[in-house]
């Protein structure tokens, strides 16, 4: 075998059409062997003799895509000093573009003996671990272009590759649960009909199935257990040929782009699947443990953990920062994804102990000409001290607004003294973002997400029901801010069912008409239930998958969701780029009358009325003729006027329409009690809003508008 010196950059395995360059970073290694594997897993070991700046490298002619490989790293095994090199473990390339197989469960993956943890385990892990695969980087993108939807025009749909497609009867069986299933015309037609602009896919980086879940007959469904930051999850590929998942993922992105839908990836750069000091040695731990992981300063045998998973990546390590930036750049530039949602993003800002928005991680993101231009969404919390950082991320970043979720849930379940904060969240959360120069689109608004109840369960259960997770119902959030509407779980009581449908519609209208960027959880558009389980991380089955066999209520819910999304996308008054001028909540009116607040009696809200702890009802006037911002071409925006009438009380409330129309008439475009309502009301008329309801009225300027709506 010819072996040339090769180059130290780029890291990983790089095929150029004639051969492959291999490069691996390890500052602690004494020797590194590249292990080339054949189909029977026989290995050919090649010692890497070239080392530049702690990067071990070689170029081997005629090594082609599909070649499986791994590394054996020789060096100190001194856990007390933070070093865990173990050449009996075949190690996964941190920069592997594709990964073959799965890991464990097997004792050979661990560097200690199960019978006596003080003794080293010399079992070879090669037959039981994952293997890196050389990939073909060439792909015909054709005329692919990023849809580049502006944040304020975006509607994000959080989905799971398997959950969205696994039971879809319109898909061929071999495509269900795969990237190809999402790329299928049936799936894309559904997403287009719904009206979303971006699909946010739950983790698609290669992840590891936890041993303790496998032993229980469960699995890591969500995938927040990453081991390969460059490789698409191989179990989501319809084509099972090693390495083919890369082209399949690219084909999915290309198909979604053709449909004008962006692809956002949920990424987990805060920890890896190797866990704590008792975890397996799969990759980073055996390559350079102290460079990749944050260790306890006074006890380097243990890991500093702010993620709850056993370890945290060392965010002040140049190797870690380079890994993350190289990964982000690869997915944006080579895989054409349009943005990233960062799991437990507060951990990424912990360069030392505190969450620091001036950390090196943010500096690198902001100066990068590629990564800084895609959508960057933070989950702005972790479990460490000071980890809750909603509103605390720097410009360029948007955030999952957990305060929006909590406030909207509390308001619609009837909690006291929630009206003022509800108004603030509805208008873009200026109290969180405006002082730092950010815009309403910094707020990713959501009522439900993968972690927690679905929207249907939010109105059907007061308590979590996670028994299927086999953890004694101790896992998952216990304070869900939910209301079961009168019965726990399934019921045949039609009045309760109607109230639940009504509450779901209230949530959907609030979400889609709030300033900021709405995010919808997959299945909420029709009322998907998880039977009260608010933590389906280990449920890769019908409990968590989409159900495509809808009853009449579900079909009507989908129709309503499409309608309210279309309303948002048709009217810029609901998706402003800037905050309202001047105070917009607690009695203040915007300087240009862009928004006004009225009591049900049609009078301007007073400070005293905002303070009433029992206040549950109000009218919001949105002035479409006074939007103080130009369109993309510098032209003034002129939209219709709207009244949003809200009654979250348990009794009916009589509303009087305020004097705000230039045409003296309003047409009903949304009614969460009767979705078919298109009635017309004169200015000054009274309307009785039933309990727990929302009406949206549009200024009627032409008789034809009634038909159009």
pLDDT band at 584 (very low <50, low <70, confident <90, very high): low
687 and 660 Cβ atoms separated by less than 8 Å: no
Summarised one tens digit per residue, pLDDT across range 19-34 is: 999 999 999 999 999 9
pLDDT band at 358 (very low <50, low <70, confident <90, very high): low
Summarised one tens digit per residue, pLDDT across range 485-512 is: 999 999 999 999 999 999 999 999 999 9
Q: Where in the chain is the domain with CATH 3.20.20.80?
A: 152-573
Predicted local confidence at residue 636, as pLDDT? 87
Percent of the chain at pLDDT > 90 equals: 89
Q: Where in the chain is the domain with CATH 2.60.40.10?
A: 12-134
Whether residue 587 is predicted with pLDDT greater than 50 in this model: the reply is no
Task: Enter the tokens of residue 539.
Answer: 């449920």
Predicted local confidence at residue 593, as pLDDT? 83
Predicted local confidence at residue 592, as pLDDT? 64
Q: Please report, for the chain, how many H helices and E strands are present, in that order.
A: 17, 31
Percent of the chain at pLDDT > 70 equals: 97
206 and 234 Cβ atoms separated by less than 8 Å: yes
Residues 568, 565: Cα–Cα separation, whole Å: 5
Whether residue 704 is predicted with pLDDT greater than 50 in this model: the reply is no
β-sheet with 50-52: strand ranges across: 12-15, 19-25, 55-61, 50-52
Predicted local confidence at residue 631, as pLDDT? 84
Predicted local confidence at residue 707, as pLDDT? 38
Summarised one tens digit per residue, pLDDT across range 108-133 is: 999 999 999 889 999 999 999 999 99
Predicted local confidence at residue 701, as pLDDT? 76
Summarised one tens digit per residue, pLDDT across range 593-621 is: 899 999 999 999 999 999 999 999 999 99
Which position has the token pair 């810029």? 572
Predicted local confidence at residue 171, as pLDDT? 98
User: What is the rounded average pLDDT of the residues 418-423?
Assistant: 96
Residues 468, 345: Cα–Cα separation, whole Å: 29
Residues 362, 400: Cα–Cα separation, whole Å: 17
What's the Cα-to-Cα distance from 391 to each of 43, 315, 433, 441, rounded to whole Å? 52, 21, 6, 12
Q: What is the rounded end-to-end Cα distance, in angstroms, of the chain?
A: 71
Say which range, 233-242, 307-316, 576-585, has the weakest mean pLDDT. Answer: 576-585
Summarised one tens digit per residue, pLDDT across range 37-61 is: 999 999 999 999 999 999 999 999 9
508 and 564 Cβ atoms separated by less than 8 Å: yes
Three-state DSSP class for 486?
A: coil
CATH class of 583-699: mainly beta
pLDDT band at 84 (very low <50, low <70, confident <90, very high): very high
Predicted local confidence at residue 588, as pLDDT? 54
Task: Of 132, 126, 111, 115, give the one whose Cα is nearest residue 289.
Answer: 111
Summarised one tens digit per residue, pLDDT across range 245-288 is: 999 999 999 999 999 999 999 999 999 999 999 999 999 999 99
Task: Of 33, 230, 263, give the one whose Cα is nearest residue 137.
Answer: 230
Catalytic residue annotation: 343, 379
Predicted local confidence at residue 706, as pLDDT? 43
Three-state DSSP class for 9?
A: coil
Predicted local confidence at residue 702, as pLDDT? 54
CATH class of 12-134: mainly beta
Summarised one tens digit per residue, pLDDT across range 532-574 is: 999 999 999 999 999 999 999 999 999 999 999 999 999 999 9
Predicted local confidence at residue 383, as pLDDT? 87
Residues 6+ apart with CB under 8 A from 364: 321, 325
Residues 447, 430: Cα–Cα separation, whole Å: 18
Whether residue 459 is predicted with pLDDT greater than 90 in this model: the reply is yes
Which position has the token pair 């056993």? 310
| CATH number assigned to the domain with residue range 152-573, chosen from the 4 options 3.30.360.10, 3.20.20.80, 3.30.530.20, 3.40.50.620 | 3.20.20.80
Alpha helices (H) in 273-429, listed in sequence order:
284-292, 318-333, 345-348, 360-367, 402-412, 419-426
Predicted local confidence at residue 589, as pLDDT? 61
Question: What average pLDDT is seen over the chain?
Answer: 95
pLDDT band at 634 (very low <50, low <70, confident <90, very high): confident
Residues 232, 229: Cα–Cα separation, whole Å: 8
Q: Where in the chain is the domain with CATH 2.60.40.1180?
A: 583-699
């Amino acid at each position: 075998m010819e072996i040339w010196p090769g180059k130290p950059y780029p890291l990983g395995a790089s095929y150029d059409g004639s051969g492959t360059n291999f490069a691996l970073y390890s500052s602690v290694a004494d020797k590194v062997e590249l292990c080339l594997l054949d189909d029977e897993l026989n290995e050919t070991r090649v010692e890497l003799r070239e080392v530049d700046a702690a990067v071990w490298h070689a170029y081997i002619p005629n090594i082609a895509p599909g070649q499986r490989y791994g590394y054996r790293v020789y060096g100190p095994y001194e856990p007390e000093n933070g070093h865990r090199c173990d050449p009996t473990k075949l190690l996964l390339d941190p920069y592997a573009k594709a990964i073959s197989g799965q890991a464990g469960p097997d004792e050979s993956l661990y560097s200690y003996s199960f019978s006596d943890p003080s003794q080293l385990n010399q079992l070879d892990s090669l037959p039981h671990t994952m293997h890196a695969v050389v990939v073909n980087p060439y792909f015909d993108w054709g005329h692919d272009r990023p849809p580049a939807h502006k944040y304020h025009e975006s509607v994000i749909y959080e989905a799971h590759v398997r959950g969205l497609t696994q039971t879809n009867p319109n898909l061929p069986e071999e495509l269900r649960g795969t990237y190809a299933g999402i790329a299928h015309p049936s799936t894309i037609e559904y997403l287009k009909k719904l009206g979303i602009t971006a699909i946010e896919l739950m983790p698609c980086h290669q992840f590891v199935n936890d041993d303790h879940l496998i032993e229980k007959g469960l699995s890591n469904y969500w995938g927040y257990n990453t081991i390969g930051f460059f490789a698409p999850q191989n179990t989501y590929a319809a084509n099972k040929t090693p390495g083919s998942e890369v082209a399949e993922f690219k084909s999915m992105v290309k198909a979604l782009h053709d449909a004008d839908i962006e692809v956002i990836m949920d990424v987990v750069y805060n920890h890896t699947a190797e866990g704590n000091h008792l975890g397996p040695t799969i990759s980073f731990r055996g390559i350079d443990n102290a460079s990749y992981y944050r260790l306890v300063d006074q006890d380097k045998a243990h890991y500093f953990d702010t993620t709850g998973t056993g370890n945290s990546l060392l965010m002040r390590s140049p190797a870690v920062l380079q890994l993350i930036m190289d990964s982000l750049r690869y997915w944006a530039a080579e895989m054409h994804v349009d943005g990233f949602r960062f799991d437990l993003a507060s951990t990424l800002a912990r360069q030392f102990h505190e969450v620091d928005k001036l950390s090196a991680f943010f500096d690198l993101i902001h100066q990068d000409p590629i990564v800084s231009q895609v959508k960057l969404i933070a989950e702005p919390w972790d479990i460490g001290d000071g980890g809750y950082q909603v509103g605390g991320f720097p410009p360029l970043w948007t955030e999952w607004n957990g305060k929006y979720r909590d406030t909207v849930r509390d308001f619609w379940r009837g909690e006291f003294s929630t009206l003022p904060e509800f108004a603030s969240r509805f208008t873009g959360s200026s109290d969180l973002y405006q002082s730092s120069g950010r815009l309403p689109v910094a707020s990713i608004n959501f009522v439900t997400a993968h972690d927690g109840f679905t929207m249907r369960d939010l109105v059907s259960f007061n308590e979590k029901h996670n028994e299927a997770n086999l953890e004694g119902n101790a896992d998952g959030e216990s304070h869900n801010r939910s209301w079961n509407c009168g019965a726990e779980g399934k019921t045949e009581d039609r009045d309760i069912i109607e109230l639940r449908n009504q509450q779901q519609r209230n949530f959907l209208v609030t979400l889609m008409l709030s300033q900021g960027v709405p995010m919808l959880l997959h299945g909420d558009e029709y009322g998907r239930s998880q039977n009260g389980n608010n933590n389906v991380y280990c449920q890769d089955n019908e409990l968590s998958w989409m159900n495509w066999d809808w009853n009449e209520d579900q079909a009507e819910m989908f129709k309503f969701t499409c309608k309210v999304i279309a309303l948002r996308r048709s009217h810029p008054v609901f998706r402003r780029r800037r905050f309202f001028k001047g105070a917009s909540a607690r009695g203040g009116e915007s300087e240009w009358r862009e928004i006004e607040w009225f009591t049900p009696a049609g009078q301007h809200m007073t400070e005293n009325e905002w303070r009433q702890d029992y206040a549950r009802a109000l009218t919001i006037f949105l002035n479409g003729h006074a939007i103080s911002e130009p369109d993309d071409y510098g032209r003034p925006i002129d939209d219709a006027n709207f009244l949003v009438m809200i009654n979250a009380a348990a009794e009916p409330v009589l509303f009087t329409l305020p004097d705000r129309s230039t045409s003296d008439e309003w047409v009903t475009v949304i009614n969460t009690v009767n979705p078919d309502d298109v009635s017309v009301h004169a200015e000054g008329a009274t309307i009785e809003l039933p309990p727990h309801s929302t009406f949206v009225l549009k200024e009627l300027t032409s008789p034809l508008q009634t038909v159009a709506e």
